[in-house]
């Protein structure tokens, strides 16, 4: 059996996600066991002062950078990297398939944020438990979206320490391939790549169809995403976001974007114009409707606008509980910073999306089942996440201050989340995807993309 196919086939039956400490211990053990080929070293410190580590494997002249937890609620990639690192170190036949390569593996790019998600890493893997223990940083504190950018009226150069750690690697080794290991919550599989690469599309498709996982064929994550093939899009950058805002708002796009920067691909191509980047988005849960292209009776525009209106309503309900209690919320935390940011961002972003939705010609057609499912039940699962962060903020402050009103508000929030969850449980009819399958999909897509990048840079 081909060494690459064998490695993909032999992914273990994982039952839970590893914590940051477990990931670091695994890397440390690997480097100690294989000092002739691997090294484990610190590349920086997090915003909270915790060390960020890189595991280097190999001594080739071509560099590949792979990093997990670009967003800290996305642990699947860290499991991919943990498994891959041991295979590279101990499976010579497999390692030799990638000629003249040094692998730079950062299993936890945002270790602070990952630790704030560890409450759900061991299960149960339900949308409610995920939401109750969810954390995602403010946009201007996200590893993936704080790389420096200067474009028209936008001039942001304030990368967080975690991003600086990755920037240092990129500057020093000029990678030929960057794999930023994201994942989605509910839906299907889809990929972002930095250039049109048709040779990879059948491989991407085979990675998930062989495991009976659907493609995400509903609404694209971003309305301005450029489609290369089914479930394959061009890597979006902040320049694309800027131009979308310019076309759909009378405000300065820089004002809407705020303090956010750009992505790793934008930064990587400053040092290697031939760098190739992949993001393979895989979900925790799925329903076959997410790839059903049969037509519904609904006009897509109506569904998109109704979803946007529901988003506004959801944020208003959160504000109605949160804002009157702000004077009692005295503990500063990443959770509070994030929730404040997302509320403020929604006030800026949602009107732009509404302007687009009212005029975009592609929304004139009847919606597919996948698009309707995306705009309805799938979107509702994501709306629970902000409620989860609000509840954590309220409980954190209650524990510190003993303010009874905060506990009562937290109980009210939980009731709201439980009602949302109960309504969705029947509507979603979802399947929890085994971690092994998610790792196999990202692993297969990433390994063949790496071979493509090696060939491209030969």
Catalytic site positions = 281
CA separation for the pair 144, 70 (Å, rounded): 5
Residue 178 and residue 264: Cα distance in Å, rounded?
8
Q: Which residues contact 133 (CB under 8 A, 6 or more apart)?
A: 117, 118, 119, 120, 388, 392
The answer to whether the beta carbons of residues 256 and 159 sit under 8 Å apart is no
Residue 348's Cβ-count burial label (10 Å; 0-12, 13-18, 19+) is middle
Angle formed at CA 442 by CA 438 and CA 444, multiple of 5 degrees = 115
Burial of 300 (0-12, 13-18, 19+ CB in 10 A): buried
Phi/psi region, residue 131 (left: phi>0; alpha: psi -120 to 50; beta: rest), is alpha
Structure tokens at 253: 């796009």
Q: Which residue has the tokens 């200067």?
A: 150
Beta strands 190-193 and 232-234: pairing type?
Answer: parallel
d(CA 234, CA 452): 16
Contact indicator for 252, 153 with CB cutoff of 8 Å: yes
Rounded Cα distance, 76 and 90, in Å: 22
- Helices 201-209 and 435-456 meet at what angle, rounded to 10? 170
Q: Is the preceding omega at residue 151 within 30 degrees of 0, hence cis?
A: no
CA dist., res. 252 & res. 267, Å (int): 23
Per-residue tokens: 84: 């891959």
Largest CA-CA distance found in the chain, in angstroms, rounded: 65
275 CB-near residues (< 8 Å, 6+ apart): 174, 175, 176, 177, 178, 194, 265, 268, 269, 453
Residues 6 or more apart in contact with residue 420 via CB below 8 angstroms? 380, 383, 384, 387
Return the closest-CA partner of residue 329 out of 230, 264, 395: 395
What secondary structure letter does DSSP report for 143?
A: S
Whether 18 and 68 have beta carbons less than 8 Å apart is answered as: no
């Amino acid at each position: 059996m081909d060494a690459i196919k064998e490695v993909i086939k032999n992914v273990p039956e994982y039952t839970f996600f590893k914590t940051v400490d477990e990931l670091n211990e695994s890397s440390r053990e690997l480097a100690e066991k294989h000092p002739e080929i691997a090294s484990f070293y610190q590349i920086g410190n997090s915003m909270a002062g915790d060390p960020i580590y890189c595991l280097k494997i190999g001594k080739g002249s071509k560099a590949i950078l792979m990093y997990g937890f670009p967003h800290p609620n996305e642990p699947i990639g860290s499991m991919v990297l943990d498994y891959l690192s041991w295979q590279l170190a101990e499976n010579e036949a497999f390692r030799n398939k990638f000629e003249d390569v040094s692998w730079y593996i950062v299993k936890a790019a945002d270790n602070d944020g990952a630790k704030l998600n560890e409450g759900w890493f061991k299960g149960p893997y339900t949308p409610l438990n995920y939401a109750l223990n969810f954390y995602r940083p403010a946009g201007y504190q996200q590893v993936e979206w704080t790389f420096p950018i200067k474009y028209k009226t936008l001039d942001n150069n304030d990368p967080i320490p975690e991003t600086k750690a990755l920037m240092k690697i990129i500057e020093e080794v000029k990678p030929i391939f960057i794999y930023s290991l994201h994942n989605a919550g509910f839906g299907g599989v889809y990929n972002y790549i930095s250039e049109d690469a048709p040779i990879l599309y059948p491989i991407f498709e085979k990675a998930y169809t062989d495991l009976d996982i659907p493609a995400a064929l509903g609404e694209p994550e971003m309305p301005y995403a450029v489609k290369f093939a089914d479930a394959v899009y061009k890597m979006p950058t902040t320049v694309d976001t800027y131009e979308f805002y310019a076309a759909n708002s009378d405000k300065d796009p820089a004002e809407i974007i705020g303090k956010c920067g750009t992505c790793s691909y934008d930064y990587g191509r400053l040092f290697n114009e031939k760098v190739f980047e992949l993001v393979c988005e895989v979900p925790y849960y799925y329903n076959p409707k997410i790839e059903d292209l049969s037509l519904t009776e609904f006009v897509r525009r109506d569904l998109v606008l109704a979803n946007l209106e529901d988003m506004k309503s959801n944020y208003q309900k959160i504000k109605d509980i949160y804002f009157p209690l702000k004077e009692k919320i005295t503990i500063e935390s990443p959770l509070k910073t994030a929730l404040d940011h997302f509320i403020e961002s929604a006030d800026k972003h949602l009107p732009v999306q509404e302007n687009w939705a009212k005029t975009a010609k592609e929304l004139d057609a009847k919606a597919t089942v996948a698009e309707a499912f995306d705009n309805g039940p799938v979107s509702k699962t994501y709306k629970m996440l902000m409620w989860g962060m609000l509840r954590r903020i309220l409980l954190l402050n209650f524990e510190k201050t003993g303010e009874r009103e905060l506990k009562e508000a937290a109980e009210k929030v939980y009731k709201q989340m439980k009602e949302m969850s109960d309504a969705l449980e029947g509507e979603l009819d979802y399947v929890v995807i085994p971690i092994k399958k998610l790792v196999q999909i990202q692993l297969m897509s990433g390994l063949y993309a790496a071979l493509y990048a090696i060939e491209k840079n030969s």
